[in-house]
Chains A and B, each alone.
Chain A
Amino acid sequence: MSETGMPSRRRGRGRVSAEYVDDEAGPVVRLYALTKGRTRPSTPAFDLLAVVVATATELPALPDLGIHHRRLLVYVNTPKPVAEIASMAGLPIGVVRVLLGDLLDHGLILVRAPSPAAEPESDHLLHELISGLRAL
């Protein structure tokens, strides 16, 4: 019975009077609409740790590039890894990869594979971990 029950009508939240407000109303644009249903990026280069940086400041006026592409372009003003971009945009990683693929296709960004400089740090970390375990 609770399934068919009406949501309680909420009033007094600002000037809006409706059953579903803001979060409850859900996102204005569904995710599939951002990518036109695409789930695979044009390139497999967008590893979680891959760093993306913008090569242009302005988004060209092209029909295939919308407001969300522009937002991502703003985020990568400074080089950022893909995982951080997704977190900032509040979008699933799969969707972000598709959108970044669009930007890459138009030559608006550069992608760098995960930094090799990080590897020694991880070796050191692993050694520390091993020695710590041995000490137990």
Chain B
Amino acid sequence: MASGRSIRFKICVLLAAPLVTLIALWGFAAHVTTDESVDLLTVGTLHDSITGPAAALTAALSKEHLLTAEYLGTHSERGRVVLAGQRAEVDRARTRLRDLSAGALASLTPAMRTRFDDLTKKADRLDTVRAAADNGRIGQVALAQEFGQVPDAARRLAASMAVNGDATLVQESRGVTALTAAEDLLGRERALAAGALVANRRLSRAELRVFGRLAANRAFLVEQGVADLEPDLRALFAPLLAGPVQARFGAAEERLLAGDPRGLVSHAEWRTAADRAGAVYRDGLAKAATALTARARPTPTGTFARAGLAGAVGLVGIVVSLVVALRVGRGLAHELAALRAAAQDLAGVRLPRVVERLSRGEAVDVAAETPALEPLGNTREVHDVAIALDRARHTAVEAAVGQATLRETVGQAFSNLARRSQSLVQRQLRMLDDMQRRAEDPEALDALFRLDHLTTRMRRHAEGLIILSGGSPGRAWRRPVLAEDTLRAAVAEVEDYTRVRIYPMPGVTVAGGAVADLVHLFAELIENAAVFSPPNTEVSVRGERAGDDFTVQVEDRGLGLTPEEVAEINRKLETRPEFDLSDTDRLGLVVVGRLAAKHGLRVEFGVSPFGGTTVTVVLPHGLIEADPDAGPEDEQELVGAPGGRPEEGAGPG
């Protein structure tokens, strides 16, 4: 499976396979059970719709056999009329069977259908038999054989439809089937013997052989059939085993079989005995069929109910497992989603924020900023992962704090060293002041100026280190200082300061406390401009009011920066660049960014119209303390500042 899939999808796949299998199995089981019940019901219907007409045909045919046999013996006109009537009845029964509704036939299995077709075919053969009988071209034996075919076929059809699973019922219906066959055999016996006796003749040897076989088969079938029945049904057929009916019929049969030593059995006597026996069969079988049908009915409905119950229980099981699977799956997916969200929040938002704030030197309440992940979910593994993430968070924050502390310590060490150097440089500059004041000789003054310039630059570097370490230069004036003086001081700190030209500007003053920082910032910008422009070109510094603010522009005639570089520098300045020890080329930029952020200045690099670079610094209104009228201020200075110490740098008060 692709690794890009969500866990929700995977869980669904995981659950889908067993659920689909379960549903399929349930469907199959329900289908099979229902089918079986439907089969039973169908069989019941078939029994009513097909077996009934078949039995009627068999019964009518049995009578036609008898009448045909008698007609063959007498050839009487009356016999012919009666026979014709019976034939019409048989034809009706035959037509009814043939015209069975298509629905009933459609529900037959192929095997049943074959047997049904066999039955109708045998029934159709009847016409040939009748024609032969009418012409007298058929004997009793052949007649008995021909008329036996339809009942045999009917019985085979009935047997094919007996599929009930109940053992007792199967056994009983087997008994009934045997007795039905016995009845049929009795009919053939009756017709065979009646055909000879009506002509007042003995049975021929062939007839006798057939008669004997029929009698023996019938006796066997009766014995078997009755044995298969339950006691209550068995009682119905008791007259066939013992009693007057059986005694009389049995005696007549014996006499016929024995070759009739005491004279011929009369036709009437035979008919009476046989008809009575036949009546017993008919009554018994009718009652038995009713009883059996009544007994078999509940079975299909019971089976159906069982199938329905099983199906319903299965369905409930499937629904329950579906619901459980969905709930568990969704719960798991939710837990994992929550865990993922928490982890992403921690890794993408919280930790970076804390680390950033720590690296900026801000005090961070670590516990409040990255609260422990709430105990997630009730799955052990998910819970463990959450705990592990929490530990990782803890370690990461500790590492960040440690790094911040280290940085602070290093910064303090740098700051400490830089301040010591600054202290020495300040003393040296004071000595230089005195020496310059005493120097009469231009040569000596020139040397002192050079020394002063070197020392001033040393002080600038010391102060730069202090600023990088997060401190402030530590020099301040309580009175505002003219912006022009501030810029001139910045120029003085640049190596190639003679190339820098300050253009006349309005007499704006800046807050004394910010002067040291501003001098440092402009020194970096002017130095940058001087370094990146040809030695013989001018670096110009201009200042002008812009509304309430004061704008200073430092412009050089260098090669300039590409727009990409300009954008990059401006972006760095805007995001307050961090002191990165690995990027020493950019230290000046870092200093500028820090000082600008400290005093709310806007510093923007741009491309000069003359091809070089222009840096625009906007001093906000708050930093410009006054807009003194230059003249009177200078008068004040004139009066107030002729003290012992030189105050040439101090702005007007």
Contact = CB atoms under 8 A, between A and B. Distances in A.
B423 A16 contact: no
Nearest to B477: A22
A112 B473 CA distance: 46
A5 to B, nearest CB: 7
B476 interface: yes
A22 B647 CA distance: 9
B486 interface: yes
B452 A32 contact: yes
A20 B442 contact: no
A31 interface: yes
B440 A94 contact: yes
B619 interface: no
Given A4-B420, A27-B650, A61-B504, A19 B488 contact: no
Interface stretch (A64-72, A103-111, A115-123, A125-133): A64-72
B645 to A, nearest CB: 6
Given A5-B423, A24-B426, A29 B649 contact: yes
Contacts of B649: 26-29
A20 B635 CA distance: 27
Contacts of B638: 71, 74-75, 88
B513 interface: yes
Interface residues of A, number: 52
Contacts of A62: 504
Given A7-B423, A63-B502, A94-B445, A28 B489 contact: yes
A83 B426 CA distance: 29
Contacts of A88: 638, 642
A20 B647 contact: no
Contacts of B479: 22
Contact of A66 (B442, B497, B502): B502
B488 A70 contact: no
Contacts of A27: 433, 646-650
A13 interface: yes
Interface string A4-24: 111100000111111111111
13 contacts: A16-B476, A18-B475, A18-B476, A19-B474, A20-B476, A22-B478, A27-B649, A29-B489, A33-B489, A63-B503, A67-B485, A70-B634, A94-B442
Given A20-B475, A28-B651, A94-B442, 16 more contacts: A4-B420, A6-B416, A7-B423, A15-B478, A17-B476, A18-B472, A18-B516, A21-B475, A28-B488, A31-B433, A32-B492, A62-B504, A74-B634, A88-B638, A92-B436, A94-B440
